[in-house]
Amino acid sequence: MKRIMIILVLIMAIPSALAVDESCHAEMSNWCFGECCDDGCDCECNEETEVCKCVCPDPAPRIEGGGKDHSLNIHRVYDYTLRKNQDNKLELIVENDGDYDEENVLVTVADCPDNWQCSEKEISELSEGEEQTVEIVLSVSEDTRLGNIKLRAYAESDGDEENRYIYAEVLPECHGSSDCPVGVDCVDSVCKCVENWVCTWSECINNEKTKECKDANDCGTTGHKPAAETEACEIPKPEPKPEEPKGDKSNGDSGNPDPMGGITGQATGGGSGTGGNSGFWAWLIGLFS
């Protein structure tokens, strides 16, 4: 019954809807019974509410361009192009694509480091289709490797009132590696830190060891960092201590290596030299005679 009602409602809405926008009616793919959908949007109907409306996907922010120019599209409202000019300033081009009129935008550097002096710029009433160039000044020398910079743009009409961020790599120009700081190479006329990962294996703990890697150039990026690895291992057992040699108790432990010496001493009264030996022989002959 609900489906029949929806069909009747749609049929009744067609004559009045056709008179709204004939140009949109010519493109049936964008027609949604009284509403003209933008390109890329679909017309979806809810059976419970009996309402049809245009549903448009919300594209994720994307990075475009290459080299020293970077652009970011956020919620189809703004287009950012970031580059470094000759005065060592960051230029951020903010464009209103027409979704909102008289837009107010505040642009600044998020989490400004202590050794930088970061400025901010407010754009007031950015009209539909208008673009303005914003300069973000950083008090750094020309040979300073800026690395990744996080810019923040806040717009009043975002709806969810959330800050939008853009990341960009801004590096000084160079004609050779000598123009760049230590550990930074000149790549495509730009001083760029080249990652140099050195990996070692950790100690064996619980029969497992892990590969630990560190960037020798300390670039602060991980684009070429080796994948994490773990391997099974065995904890080496300590080698047994060698046994000490046992002494010969039958000879030498008594402190008297000549067993007959005691007899001689008792028979002769402890004589020594030649006289002691002749007395022993006299005693031995008398014993067997």
Give the tens place of pLDDT for each residue, 230-266.
999 988 777 777 777 776 555 545 445 554 444 444 4
Domain ranges of the chain: 2-55, 62-169, 197-232
Bridge partner list, 93: 81, 133
pLDDT at site 213 = 93
Tell me: domain 62-169, CATH 3.40.50.150, correct? no
Residue ranges of E strands in 145-195: 148-155, 164-169, 184-187, 190-193
pLDDT at site 69 = 32
Give the tens place of pLDDT for each residue, 57-116.
544 333 232 233 333 333 333 444 555 555 555 666 665 554 555 555 666 665 565 555
pLDDT at site 9 = 44
Give the tens place of pLDDT for each residue, 139-158.
444 444 444 455 555 555 44
pLDDT at site 236 = 78
Beta carbons of 98 and 128 less than 8 angstroms apart = yes
Q: Per mean pLDDT, which of 124-133, 163-172, 189-198, 245-254 is the most reliable?
A: 189-198
| Token pair in block for residue 183 | 């550990």
Beta carbons of 220 and 148 less than 8 angstroms apart = yes
Residue 134: pLDDT above 80? no
Burial category of 104 from C-beta neighbours within 10 Å (exposed 0-12, middle 13-18, buried 19 and up): middle
Give the tens place of pLDDT for each residue, 18-52.
444 455 544 455 677 767 776 667 787 877 767 77
Mean pLDDT value across the chain: 61
- Mean pLDDT in residue range 215-219: 80
pLDDT at site 52 = 79
Torsion angle defined by CA atoms of residues 284, 286, 287 and 289, in that order, rounded to the nearest 10 degrees = 120
Residue from 151, 140, 42 nearest 87 by CA:
140
